[in-house]
């Protein structure tokens, strides 16, 4: 098992090391092939109840998603088109996290990698849409990537998402489904439920749990979007001598304002800012103490560019 895991990691690391991965939604809305790079700076957040302690991070992301050639389309009896598309790709997220003034150093170097192989099936029919997604994930501190024999199945995760969009009218639809991932901390299965409206003035509103969004698209080339969603991760991490293995878990809610602009036929850029709040941190220190603490709210800035085809 370790040999197979090591081979998979070598493939992922060679392909995606220069940059790093992506969207937080449990069912990403893939519609076309693209490759994107993002960078975000997260301001330091004080550790509640520990004087002078804080956490700060930078986040680099890369993803490349391709629409696969296996697409089926056929005509329904009421002249509506039923189509199915498949997507697959690779994604890599790297977080550089600094822990300052803790009682003891953490059992990690703070260099955290999340390597993903996402897949999705998108079906459209006259009653709405269905998306089924899955991602095989390796989440680990960087020292394990340099010592592949240390990797075990504890580093593996499986993210799942199922979303149904059922039309009520031409402009209104129900949303429902299930997700399974670490966005709320521990790996768990949770529901997706809400409604979606297409309003006048090119405004789209998604009012749902856990992801809510409001988008205004004044032209084909740009849009402005507000989102509210949970974001969370868990990594299996190691101390520098690989004497101890533990889990580092971080979760929060994120409010984001994004401006997206397509400045050429195949090129897009985006900038966003927002606030991460209700942040929770859980990790083990070198003295083997388990730290579970709240973090203060922290603003962030994100910049990105993507190529679409």
Q: DSSP letters of 161-222?
A: EEEEEEESSSSEEEEEEEEEESTTSS-EEEEEEEEEEEETTTEEEEEEES-EEEEEEEETTE
pTM of this structure: 0.85
Instruction: Burial-class residue 113 by CB neighbours within 10 Å (0-12, 13-18, 19+).
Output: buried
Task: Give backbone dihedrals phi and psi of 182, rounded to 5 degrees, phi first.
Answer: -110, 20
Say which residue the tokens 């593996």 belong to.
156
Whether the bond between 172 and the residue before it is cis, its omega within 30 degrees of 0, is no
Domain residues of the chain, as ranges?
A: 2-308
Sign of CA dihedral 159, 5, 185, 212: negative
pLDDT tens for the chain, 309 residues: list them.
444 434 333 333 333 322 223 356 778 888 899 999 999 988 888 888 787 888 888 999 999 999 998 655 554 445 456 889 999 999 999 999 988 888 888 888 889 999 999 999 999 988 899 999 999 999 999 988 888 888 888 999 999 999 999 999 989 999 999 999 999 989 999 999 999 999 988 999 999 999 999 999 999 899 999 999 999 999 999 988 888 889 999 999 999 999 999 999 999 999 999 999 999 999 988 888 888 889 999 999 999 999 999
């Amino acid at each position: 098992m370790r040999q197979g895991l090591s081979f998979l990691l070598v493939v992922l690391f060679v392909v995606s090391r220069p940059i790093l991965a992506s969207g937080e939604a449990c069912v990403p809305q893939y519609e076309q092939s693209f490759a994107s790079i993002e960078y975000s700076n997260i301001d330091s957040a004080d550790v509640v109840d520990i004087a002078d302690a804080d956490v700060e991070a930078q986040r680099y992301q890369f993803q490349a998603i391709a629409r696969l050639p296996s697409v089926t389309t056929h005509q329904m009896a009421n002249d509506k088109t039923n189509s199915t598309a498949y997507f697959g790709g690779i994604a890599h997220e790297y977080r550089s996290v600094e822990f300052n003034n803790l009682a003891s150093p953490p059992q990690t170097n703070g260099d955290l990698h999340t390597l993903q192989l996402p897949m999705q099936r998108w079906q459209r029919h006259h009653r709405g849409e269905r998306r089924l997604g899955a991602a095989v994930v390796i989440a680990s501190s960087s020292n394990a990537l340099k010592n592949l024999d240390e990797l075990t199945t504890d580093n593996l995760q499986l993210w799942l998402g199922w979303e149904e969009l059922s039309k009520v009218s031409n402009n209104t639809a129900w949303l429902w489904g299930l997700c399974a991932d670490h966005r709320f901390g521990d790996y768990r299965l949770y529901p997706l439920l809400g409604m979606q409206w297409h309003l006048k003035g090119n405004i789209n509103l998604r009012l749902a749990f856990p992801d809510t969004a409001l988008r205004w698209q004044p032209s084909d080339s740009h849009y402005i979007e507000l989102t509210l969603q949970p974001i969370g991760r868990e990594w299996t991490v190691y101390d520098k001598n690989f004497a101890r293995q533990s889990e580092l878990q971080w979760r929060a809610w994120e409010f984001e304002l994004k401006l997206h602009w397509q400045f050429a036929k195949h090129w897009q850029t985006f900038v966003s800012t927002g606030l991460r709040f209700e942040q929770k941190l859980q990790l083990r220190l070198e003295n083997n103490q388990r730290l579970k603490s709240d973090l203060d709210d922290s603003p962030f800035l994100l910049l990105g560019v993507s190529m679409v085809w």
